[in-house]
Structure 1
């Protein structure tokens, strides 16, 4: 059944989050280049995985911190845009707690800690396949307001 005014039929918040993420992923060359895989997305939440390759290592044969940050930042981006409101990073902090090595499978799990008006706070933990915490990331977001997928409703948050 078609919705009025050219809007998409009623979708759950989870379906909207998935549709928005699919749209963003289609344009996200950086995530594709790194082999980042979307495992789960829902409103205010995203979980991604990435396997550490030889070309991701620094001079110490450890995962380059910038690439660990990128994985966490991608999870942050998908979580904070899951409400179908274009949202960007305002600031981010990361603590590197352990080194990752070639062959490790890293999982970045992002949870919305706070969202009101145009401001949000999101926490990301990056762990390896053994559950060892590799990095802790906190991102602060700023919503720009326009929809990512105009045919979908925006969440009232």
Structure 2
């Protein structure tokens, strides 16, 4: 099997294993839309329970979506990547009923460190959050094989 197909298959196996363990994603209704080597796309719909005191989506909800996409992306190669630093900016507010999509991609990866950018958009394409996460790869693997 060519290397790219192996990497894609591994990313899918890793994502399936993470998804089985991700209780927060199930609780918030986060779905995995796409995964591959060094990238992931996840989405969720803003529900009434996700609103803040002024009636817009709580920043912690869009952060959680972006952080979850970051986790899938940085662990897609079957290395356990844990966050060491994350920043987020909110250019626009998401609203009740918005379908948010987080697209995360690897920007740089060397040795035990990786940097990933994630853009969260609404169903209209409006950017509601810009997230950058830096991870550290620790010992162990998500799934057995293809390490």
Please give the TM-score of this superposition, normalised by the length of structure 2.
0.95
What stretches of structure 1 move > 2 A for 4+ residues in a row? none
Distance 1:48 1:68 in 2: 11
Distance 2:73 2:58 in 1: 23
**Aligned to 2:123, what secondary structure does the other structure show?**
coil
In the other structure, the counterpart of 1:8 is: none
Distance 1:124 1:88 in 2: 16
In the other structure, the counterpart of 2:138 is: 144
Measured on the aligned residues, the alpha-carbon RMSD in Å equals: 0.8
Q: Which runs of 5+ in 1 are unaligned?
A: 1-10
Map residues 59-98 of structure 1 onto 2, 5 A cutoff.
Answer: 59-98=53-92
In the other structure, the counterpart of 2:110 is: 116
Matched length: 143
Please give the TM-score of this superposition, normalised by the length of structure 1.
0.89
Distance 1:24 1:117 in 2: 22
In the other structure, the counterpart of 1:153 is: 146
The structure number with the bigger radius of gyration is: 1
CA contact (8 A) 1:119 1:140 kept: yes
Does residue 35 (structure 1) correspond to residue 29 (structure 2)? The answer is yes
Deviation at 1:87, TM superposition (A): 1.1
Distance 1:36 1:19 in 2: 18
Deviation at 1:145, TM superposition (A): 2.9
In the other structure, the counterpart of 1:104 is: 98
Deviation at 1:147, TM superposition (A): 1.2
CA contact (8 A) 1:86 1:148 kept: yes
CA contact (8 A) 1:96 1:134 kept: yes
